[in-house]
Structure 1
Amino acid sequence: MGRDIEFIIFGEDWGRHPSSTQHLISIIAKQYPVYWINSIGLRQPQLQAKDIRRIIEKIMAFTRRTAIADTEISSTNLKKIIKPLVWPLARNKVMKYINKKLLTTQLPKKKHYRVLWIALPSAIEYIELCQADLIIYYCGDDFSALTGVDHDKAMQAEQTLSMQADLIYVANKQLMTRFPKHKTHYLPHGVDLHLFQSKHACPPAIDKGTKNIGFYGSLNNWLDYDLLQQLALARPQIQFYLLGNKECHQVQQLQNENIHLLPAVPHNQLASYVQHWHAAILPFINNQQIKMCNPLKLREYLAAGCPVISSDYKAAAEYSPLVSIATTQKEWLSAIDRITQLSPQQASEYKRKAYQCVQHDSWQLRIEKIIHAIQKIRYSTTE
């Protein structure tokens, strides 16, 4: 099959955070040419500092681009990153026209059978420009519940996209009923088994001489900061490590001496942290976004063999009892006490069972299913 297929990806900004689309496309890019189009947004920008900064970032990225794209070369793949200058979810006809003209100048010339992979429904405006032979909609999130999204426009775009797509993949079973049954497939998140199974040295920031608990990911408003503070107060002998970008003001209330706010690190360094925690936590609040979520870190925690404690939502409950579900402070403390007192033999047994649970969930196996489906459609239409 070689390089007889090329992919155009509409996703978030490459490298901004390790999304499921980026994990999947990183593997595809080892075999096929990939053109990644950075985020075109899911809501109208507002006159506020955060949006203004993002607009400036987009303009700067656009002005620094090469004729078609920036090229990033690693030891395993080649990725061409297209940094578009478009106004997100434009409603004005003139602005829509300008958006399309700008993006047209950046799209590569078609050389192979072209697969258009859309991870953001706002890309519906640009499908006609891409000369796609096959369209995939990868729905990794419930955009009707996602914070910071223009829900009405996103859902309208998604409905139109669901009719035009040849294949639809959803990362959450609860989203299956939203799309046409005959072309919709459940594709749960995967995990880099090699990364999280390989042994890594403990980072200097982690105190190996104490019991410690950790979380990594965006420190955003979907975390239960009141709970975290109460847990740290109730267990002062345990160190709590929160690893990630501070995305909301509630983070500042965590003033406990045994809570350590660490900066975000590259994805390939996360295993070195979670492997040296006695427990990994998912302390989410209870809202619609969380009910529909399926966090990548859940499988990564398990692949690393680290016992997991989580708030109650469907994706986590499916892994019970390997994942301890806690809904009250008392239940959280009980789970923390039980897990931090595991004997070496018990911890080793947990690690064995956790690996068995995710051993067939590699990103590579997920991609093999997708490529098979693409080839099946491709050759059925050419016979």
Structure 2
Amino acid sequence: MLYIGDGTSRRIPGSDRDCLLCFSHLRWRFVFQRPQHLMTLAARQYRVLYIEEPIYEPNAEAGLRAELDTSGVEILTPVLPLGLSEDEAVREQAKLTRRLLGALGGRVRVCWYYTPMAYEFSDMVVADIRVYDCMDELSAFKGAPRRLSDNERRLLAAADLVFTGGQSLFQAKRRLHPAVHAFPSSVDQRHFRKARRTDLSDPSPQACLERPRVGFFGVIDERMDLELVEAAARLRPDFEFVLVGPVTKISEASLPRLANLHWLGRQEYRDLPDFVSGWDVAFMPFALNRSTRFISPTKTPEFLAAGVPVVSTPVPDVVRPYGELGLVRIAHSPESLVTAVEACLNEPRQAWLRKVDDFLAGMSWEKTWAQMHKLVLSAPSALEEDRSSAIAASGRAGHA
């Protein structure tokens, strides 16, 4: 494992491919979602360095821990001494970014951001193209950094391209930048269609549960309506509610505890189809609050690709298009949620599955990345614009 700290001046071993630096607020090995899908694909064409948020350790020397993922993505984790102030942490990460650029020989083709907070310590990076892939309205999330909105304004001013994770977010950002493009959540259909098979083994955490089962996977945080979940479970004690995913930003103690509510914790991405194959209905009990106003849940097309009926609260990017097309049932209350689940259990699936497959046809992360990359390749290079400006300026000076 490479460690880039004080005094490091050697180049990082690697290929001669163009470099893509990706700054993300999500840890690579947390849950497999949009950044992981896209950067794994980007690694086929670029040398991808994925820079996570820092970890803090007592008496640590500031540095970057590097790990090579099987996908080819290089994961860089800043390690900082415990006890730094916010401003001190930014300064240390700026130093590490400069050392990283030196170790790379200054070669950066694409600088890709998932968090505006990273722009505070990386604004010195000279890249041909800067991309802001805005997958969520992070300023609306619980515990959002106080400087996030200011940093987003700076990043929007510097970015060449802005992508959004859904249509609602696109509508919110399109007036803030001249090149905003909507790329809603996509799906790895080959992976999740495994859930349609009949020969999968029921994972041990849920194998002992009765049917019918109503399941969810994803991060469990302030975006989940825990009161709705509890009320629905009380209304139908004969339903087994299975919730798979890590609990973050809320207390484990806040989770309702009932005999038919099962919190199974984080599971590996590779195992999710096995869990879904043992569910009769999937549900998405999102709260309707600031943190869900602009979300476009990746799990919507994932559940559909798995062939399991879906019930969701009326999140805008789920209502349109999924609810309006009859692919997902929309519920506004605990009572309507269990009624929708009952309807899913009694509805013949073949006609619904045909509609699902027609809608998902051609949808893939590969297609999303190809469309994004086409825009990256066709965008005016910031370096070329700088050169053109310099040439034009020198020409004017020569005629003065």
- Quote the residue 2:182 is aligned against: 186
Q: Pick one of 97, 100, 104 that aligns with 1:106.
A: 100
Q: Pick one of 25, 35, 40 that aligns with 1:26.
A: 40
- Aligned-partner SS, 1:81: strand
- Quote the residue 2:51 is aligned against: 37
Contact map agreement 2:64 2:77 (CA 8 A) in 1 = no
- Aligned-partner SS, 2:332: coil
Aligned pair in 2 of structure 1 residues 260, 61: CA closer, same or farther (>3 Å)? farther
TM-superposed deviation, 1:232: 1.6
Unaligned runs of 5+ residues in structure 1 are 41-53
Q: Does 1:336 align with 2:336?
A: no
Aligned pair in 2 of structure 1 residues 375, 110: CA closer, same or farther (>3 Å)? farther
Tell me, in whole angstroms, the C-alpha distance in 2 between the residues paired with 1:378 and 1:182.
13
- Quote the residue 1:47 is aligned against: none
- Quote the residue 1:13 is aligned against: 27
- What does 1:154-173 align with in structure 2 at a 5 Å threshold? 154-173=148-167
Contact map agreement 2:113 2:131 (CA 8 A) in 1 = yes
Per-residue CA deviation, residues 69-118 of structure 1 (Å, 9 max, x unaligned), is 2223x2xx3121111136999764x6644432233223441475610001
Tell me, in whole angstroms, the C-alpha distance in 2 between the residues paired with 1:202 and 1:350.
24
After superposition, the CA RMSD in angstroms is: 2.9
Q: Does 1:71 align with 2:68?
A: yes
Per-residue CA deviation, residues 197-216 of structure 1 (Å, 9 max, x unaligned), is 12343323334752111011
Say which is worse superposed, 83-92 or 200-209, in terms of deviation: 83-92
- Aligned-partner SS, 1:257: coil
Unaligned runs of 5+ residues in structure 2 are 1-14, 389-400
Tell me, in whole angstroms, the C-alpha distance in 1 between the residues paired with 2:269 and 2:86.
37
Question: Aligned AA for 2:311?
Answer: I
- Quote the residue 1:216 is aligned against: 217
Q: TM-score, normalised by structure 2?
A: 0.81
Aligned pair in 2 of structure 1 residues 89, 153: CA closer, same or farther (>3 Å)? farther
Aligned pair in 2 of structure 1 residues 298, 89: CA closer, same or farther (>3 Å)? farther
Identity of aligned residues (%): 24
- Quote the residue 1:146 is aligned against: 141
Q: Does 1:134 align with 2:129?
A: yes
- Aligned-partner SS, 1:83: strand
TM-superposed deviation, 1:8: 0.5
- Aligned-partner SS, 1:210: coil
- Quote the residue 1:49 is aligned against: none
Aligned pair in 2 of structure 1 residues 196, 60: CA closer, same or farther (>3 Å)? farther
- What does 1:254-265 align with in structure 2 at a 5 Å threshold? 254-265=256-267
Structure number with bigger Rg: 2
Q: Does 1:116 align with 2:116?
A: no
Per-residue CA deviation, residues 190-233 of structure 1 (Å, 9 max, x unaligned), is 11111011234332333475211101112223222222222222
Q: Pick one of 167, 191, 194 that aligns with 1:195.
A: 191
Q: TM-score, normalised by structure 1?
A: 0.84
Aligned pair in 2 of structure 1 residues 61, 308: CA closer, same or farther (>3 Å)? farther
Question: Aligned AA for 2:304?
Answer: L
Contact map agreement 2:64 2:79 (CA 8 A) in 1 = no
Contact map agreement 1:304 1:351 (CA 8 A) in 2 = no
- Aligned-partner SS, 1:295: coil
Count of residue correspondences: 357
Per-residue CA deviation, residues 232-261 of structure 1 (Å, 9 max, x unaligned), is 222122211111123333655532211112
Tell me, in whole angstroms, the C-alpha distance in 2 between the residues paired with 1:90 and 1:369.
41
Tell me, in whole angstroms, the C-alpha distance in 2 between the residues paired with 1:347 and 1:221.
33
- Aligned-partner SS, 1:168: strand
Contact map agreement 2:168 2:316 (CA 8 A) in 1 = no
Aligned pair in 2 of structure 1 residues 103, 174: CA closer, same or farther (>3 Å)? same
- Aligned-partner SS, 2:178: helix
Per-residue CA deviation, residues 21-76 of structure 1 (Å, 9 max, x unaligned), is 12111111133211111125xxxxxxxxxxxxx5339x8796683xxx2223x2xx
Contact map agreement 2:94 2:122 (CA 8 A) in 1 = no
- Quote the residue 1:45 is aligned against: none
Contact map agreement 2:173 2:180 (CA 8 A) in 1 = no
